[in-house]
Structure 1
């Protein structure tokens, strides 16, 4: 058996695509309700790509923002994946280049031969050669990607609330306005709104080309067309938007459900106004919201915080730190301190503060020891250092080193990304 790992040529694009789950009709997600999906199905039906789909996908593979890799076994493609060029916002607001791993698969008849490990190694080497100090992915299964250096860094909630349980603590007068718009206008709104959001939100990802096109497309499970709600401030500027559906259901238990698929607000006023309407929409009885941040403030606006019930928590963005020094220097820190970190056998002196950091190799004794997986989870600040230490994954060598590193890494808000790749 001869194995070759390399980028594909244009002539090999369709053979490559037929290996990938979204093109061959194989499952793309674990069979559980996902935090990113507001519907009731465990996953949408998987439909193989049509010849027209394959033509379109093959053309997209020629773009400069996507770098496919394939595993050839005796000359035939048996597995594949790709890196997309995106950016992630890190603490301090800098948008850092990230190699996004996407559409990864090995044909069932070629499993357990080390193909995925070789594909992943080739892609991560490519990221390093291009100067990307971070790689990321969204894992379809939680047991696969840790062995390649990835670890969860952001998380999402899916929650629901009965309309009759909703009562806000405070009276509210909206000085702006709400409007339902069509998909074309919504696409323009979201393009601008997301750019403003990702400039200030740690963990957010830059959108792939075409992300905001086709917003009125029917979902695969037939859950009905999307509705687009926009909030404008008193000056007429858009400062919030939501996408929701009102699916028809044959089962009375599921009828009257409003499903929020996307929601963003730049101001507290926009946030309160948008949720005020969505949680009290006529002829509905329940709201289900997906892709929500773990520190959702809505709960604390209600007279009964128990009304908001979490139905799913899920890891979202997994990070792999490819260059420890450059990654630690790319972000800012919540306090000023100097610590020596032993990461995967190498020691680094981190001199960090609110204005930035320097990170240099050192022979000094370490204050803390951790692995690359642990650093990936801690990097954006969404998980506490002590939390990993209690799990036996971070070792403290000097007194209070855990709390000192925790104080450095924590952002004001939990990291969150609503857009993936």
Structure 2
């Protein structure tokens, strides 16, 4: 046995030779017109055939390194590709057969089983991102149910048909949100339904993988909104139907509420308002059924700031909202009279002054909306009464000072004078 060079039918052999045949360690450089696209082989030979460990290189850049028998891959081996992909598995008579692991250069890894060269049965893909996909092969093609699981607890259940996602898929978020989607030829396309753990629901449409078209959102509160998606984002006009029966016409821009909106209540009340970055902000105008008009201010979805009510009766009320409730200083003007008072959580409370058009002035106290406590009434003539109010009426002892300076005592009961000087 010695090192020789042989001219073979398929190429040039250099290595150990016995009885004129490659036997032992040797290398072959294949002819450039080799029909199998083989370039070279380094490995072990038995009686002119590749047998034992060896490495084949093809002109495509692919390589196989592993076991050989009767010129075919046999046993454990590794097949690599110029793209950086490679698999490690079992071979039988030149075909992959048995368990194999396929590695991607991006860090993904797939574990599968081969039967006579085709993937068959269950497969698991471990993505570099941490997600895991379990799926099924039929003669090398993905067919049947599959599920993807993420590290945060999200899951996606769907089916492959002919190697592509097809039919209904259901996404389950770890937050409790679920979405049922439709897939056609591997792309999310058609009707979908989203459910939240609170009980909200949205009937929506996908087009070529993106939310697109009309959608109906139903809140667990009973409210409902008809809206539209454009290329994955809420966009354009929408109508919001409140459980109370009120209807609001609003506008979405790039996924958020923006600009002018109009809300109409069942009693005929109409409010013109504005959205900024998804929240009610800025000036708003309310027209009441009796034609009264209120100018108000929103801040981050809540009535907060100055407001003015022009009542149909002619009164003008200037006041403040705080987090949706009338709160703080207020001035009420009507028929020439003016009342200056304070609101606390929507109710008049604290000191107040009332100016009559005729020139009278009364200083008193509100206790949760009711005039109760010390009061002073000064007439236009200069006469003055100092005493107590109870439930809006003079009650108890009072001191009256006449215009000429005369002072006398009074007794009142529920607004009626019952005694005194």
- In terms of fraction of residues, the more helix-rich structure is 1
TM-score interval for Structure 1 and Structure 2 normalised by the shorter chain = under 0.3
Kindly indicate whether structure 1 or structure 2 has the higher relative contact order, using CA contacts under 8 Å at least 6 residues apart.
Answer: 1
Q: Rg larger in 1 or in 2? A: 2
TM-score by length of 1: 0.21
TM-score by length of 2: 0.21
